[in-house]
Amino acid sequence: MNTKVELLDEKNIDEKILKQAGYVIREGGLVAFPTETVYGLGANALDANAVKKIFGAKGRPQDNPLIVHISDIKEIYKLVKFIPEAAEKFMNEFWPGPMTIILPKTDLIPDVTSAGLSSIGIRMPSNIIANHFIKAAGVPIAAPSANISGRPSPTDVERCIEDLNGKVDWIIGGGMSEFGVESTVIDCTVEPSCVLRPGRITLEMLRKIEPNIYIDPAVMRKPSRDLKPKAPGMKYRHYAPKAKVKIVQGDLKKTIAKISEMVQNYIDEGKKVGIMATDETKEHYKKGFVISLGSRKNMVEISKNLFETLRSFDDENIDIVISEAFEEQGIGIAVMNRLQKSAAFDITEV
């Protein structure tokens, strides 16, 4: 398949291109597009055959449901059976934005889109290109992250091209994603609501609206037989670059010492080692290929750079990436969740 790539400018959107891309969606095609979290791979959410193509292009397990994207709050009413009060409040407060809410679905949504579940995740992105694209399509758009299943989500158009060129009809570029981690997923079919995937909309922000909301305990722990995450997608090895990822967690000074020791050992074994550091620590590493995620004082910057940094170690053919850890608080919960999964929970405590 010949993939058409179109680069758009958020400040000066070419509506003619979005009109054509919208037509591709209505005709049952696949279009990757930017959002404020990560790039998405879109298809008409109401067209079972189009949605099936998403699973094929990504190599995604069939039991992993998709998120349906809308451009106006009004569009939700035909997609879900009812909206509890808490969900209504979350929508009013955080849409458009990086939040997905899970609600009981109507029959309008085919079973492939929800992977056979009776519920569906709905999200209204704030990214202006995404918003105009969904409007131009005139149908709700089912879109997982636009990566090959298991790889870190793409936060820039080059990474979409890397993963999806030749597998999709169109790729729309629109600069680097603002937040870099996927939306906060909230299950609103239960009471109190439950966070199935942490993101930029933090637990603290959600608790201001629903004080009893909590994070699914399986989110921050290694999945086991009795601890299965409620979001099917969270049980898979995920966000993994080709390099093996390891995390060192604890006091920062001890972390630097431990990482330096591990780097030396791997170099002695003839391995190419990368270090995922921060502005505060990067000067302390004397060996290894060091990339800083940004300042520890700015967790939004760190979340924005996380997936791109993981992928850039692959560009250097690094064998092993050792990462520092972050405090599990605020956006740090989302960052640590993605990092732990990319490392398949290989964590050394110091």
Footprint of ligand TXA on 210-239 (CB under 6 A): 230-234
> Does 183 interact with ligand TXA (rule: CB under 6 A)?
yes
CA distance 128 to 150: 27
Supply the minimum distance, in Å, between the C-beta of residue 189 and ligand TXA.
8
112 contacts ligand TXA (rule: CB under 6 A): no
Residue 224 counted as an annotated binding residue? no
Phi–psi pair at 10, nearest 5 degrees: -55, -30
Q: How far is the CB of 58 from Mg ion (least distance, A)?
A: 8
Rounded CA separation 28/24 (Å): 7
Rounded to 10 deg, the angle between the 299-315 and 157-164 helix axes is 40
Cβ closer to ligand TXA: 193 or 292? 193
Rule CB under 5 A: say whether 145 interacts with Mg ion: yes
* Nearest-approach distance from CB 147 to ligand TXA, in angstroms: 8
32: contact with ligand TXA by CB under 6 A? no
Count CA within 13 A, CB hemisphere, residue 253. 0
Size of interface with ligand TXA, in residues (CB under 6 A) = 29
Structure tokens at 54: 């998403």
Q: How far is the CB of 282 from ligand TXA (least distance, A)?
A: 29
Residue type, 137: A
Q: Which is nearer to ligand TXA, 55 or 313 (CB)?
A: 55
> Which residues have a Cβ under 8 Å from the Cβ of 159 and sit 6 or more positions away?
39, 147, 307, 308, 311
Name the residue among 268, 254, 284 with its Cα closest to residue 348: 254
Contact between 347 and 247 (Cβ < 8 Å) = yes
69 annotated among ligand-binding-site residues = yes
Give yes or no for residue 119 binding ligand TXA (CB under 6 A). Answer: yes
143-151, 275-283, 333-341, 342-350 -> range binding ligand TXA (CB under 6 A): 143-151
> Tokens 């003839």, residue?
270
DSSP 154: P
Three-state SS letters, 294-313: CCCCCHHHHHHHHHHHHHHH
Binding site listing: 37, 60, 64, 69, 123, 143, 145, 153, 183, 197, 239
Query: Where do contacts with Mg ion occur on this chain (CB under 5 A)?
Result: 145
Query: Where do contacts with ligand TXA occur on this chain (CB under 6 A)?
Result: 35, 37-38, 40, 64-67, 100, 102, 114, 117, 119-121, 123, 143-145, 182-183, 185, 196-197, 230-234
